[in-house]
Chain A
Amino acid sequence: MARAVAALALAAFCATTGGDGAVAQQAGLAPFVVTGDAIEAPLGGLKGDPARGRAIIVDRQKGLCLLCHSGPFPDQRFQGDIAPSLAGAGARLSVAQLRLRIVDGTLLNPETVMPSYYRIEGLTRVARAFEGKPILDAQEVEDVVAFLGALRDGPSTGETR
């Protein structure tokens, strides 16, 4: 059964199931299950490393996060202000909620400007060098989730867009 669901493209998956409870499978990527507005299980059962997560977040070629977000990174110049501050992200959202927002925020809000970090389907004219590759792999997603989940200081409510 999981195999049959696995054949569906992510977009079709959303349209037919409402995004709740079914297994999303993309070629070569770890499957995940969306429950409500969260993904409870770590991708690939991997354990995230917060220190590596921080390094990914501040890397402007890798995580790209600080192009749009600011956060508690006093050593980082030129933080963007397109999206809410990452400070207190772990107080506002559970680790499972953070995971879905990083994996594919368009499942919650199709209009979001947030890139889908663990998605390879339903994209248009992806450059050859990035074809078939998510922005972050499963381990990197878990690293980022682990770091953000530990950011407890900051506003417990935040504007989201």
Chain B
Amino acid sequence: MRAALFVLSLGAASAALAEIPADQRKSGADFMSAQTRAMQNDDATNPAMLSVLDGESRWSAKAGAGAKSCADCHGPAETSMKGVAARYPAFDAESGRPIDLAGRINSCVETRQQAQPLKPESPGLLALTAYVALQSRGMPVAPPSDERLASFRARGEELWRQRFGQLNFSCAQCHDDNWGRKLGSAPIPQAHPNAYPIYRLDWQGMGSLQRRLRNCMSGVRANAYPYGAPEFVDLELYLMQRAAGMPMETPGVRP
């Protein structure tokens, strides 16, 4: 009994900290070296811009049995896609689930263009996603208030707090409770999703938020969810809510 009380009191004393208050939220860019920030901020040196340019040409390239381009239906991305990435994931009536931006693009490729869907993390899908997301750069993250998303977002928050893997860490333990502290040499960022897809120097290439989440899961020695898993979309839904109001940065550069 004494031991039980002891356990209880210790647990209560160190209960997990709450969500990061709005005035303390920082982009991953704020934790980077000045050189890496400068690389991101100048489109002439930002290596992700190569992917964005690829996306721009794909936007008007005809493809599939329909021989249609994105532009044939949507017109110039600068107007039709403005603000879209800032409010994804959105509810997809057809599947009855939230869908992320890459998922939406791929569903268009498959059903409208009647072309082969692009593979997860393929250069083409990352390029189109980055080009569409660029049209929201500087705009505040604006998750939709669609009631149908609520249960999925709640599931995403559960996953955020779920401990995973042999090392038994949750996302929240590092990115809510210990951001700014050092894990080895690297400061722990707050894990905001507002710069994806990113060019990560460590990857020497582009990658999606899901790639980053898979990296973290492997890091805690967990069996990562596969690309496109509903868990990742739910988690992104929660992360966008958590980052609401922060400016979109796509295409980001990260160390």
**Using a CB–CB distance below 8 Å, which chain A residues touch chain B?**
14, 18-20, 34, 36-37, 60, 64, 66-68, 77-82, 106-113, 115-116, 119, 123-130, 133, 135, 161
Contacts and interface: CB of A to CB of B under 8 A. Distances in A.
B7 A19 contact: yes
A81 B222 CA distance: 24
**Max chain B Cβ within 10 angstroms of own Cβ: one of A34, A37, A107, A123:** A123
B184 A123 contact: no
Interface stretch (B9-17, B23-31, B48-56, B60-68): B9-17
B80 interface: no
Contacts of B188: 82
A113 B3 contact: no
A48 B185 CA distance: 30
A111 B16 contact: yes
10 contacts: A19-B3, A34-B3, A67-B183, A68-B183, A82-B181, A82-B188, A111-B15, A113-B177, A123-B168, A127-B221
B44 interface: no
Contacts of A64: 167
A110 B224 CA distance: 24
Interface stretch (B83-91, B113-121, B134-142, B157-165): B157-165
What 5 pairs across the A-B complex have the smallest Cβ distances? A78-B185, A18-B4, A20-B3, A130-B166, A18-B3
B6 interface: yes
B16 A126 contact: no
Nearest to A107: B7
Contact of A128 (B169, B181, B223): B223
A137 to B, nearest CB: 13
Contacts of A68: 183
Interface of B: 1-4, 6-7, 10-11, 14-16, 162-169, 173-174, 177-178, 181-185, 188, 217-218, 221-224
Contacts of A67: 183-184
A127 B184 contact: no
B181 A127 contact: no
Contacts of B3: 18-20, 34, 36
Given A106-B168, A111-B15, 5 more contacts: A68-B183, A82-B188, A111-B14, A124-B162, A127-B166
Contacts of B181: 80-82
A115 B169 CA distance: 7
A161 B17 CA distance: 12
Contact of A126 (B4, B7, B14, B222): B222
Contacts of A127: 165-166, 218, 221-224
Contacts of B218: 127
A90 to B, nearest CB: 21
Nearest to B5: A18
B224 to A, nearest CB: 8
B14 A161 contact: yes
A58 to B, nearest CB: 12
A18 to B, nearest CB: 4
Contacts of B165: 123-127, 130
Contacts of A109: 7, 10-11, 14
Contacts of A125: 164-165, 217, 222-223
Contacts of A112: 14
Given A18-B1, A113-B177, A135-B166, A130 B221 contact: yes
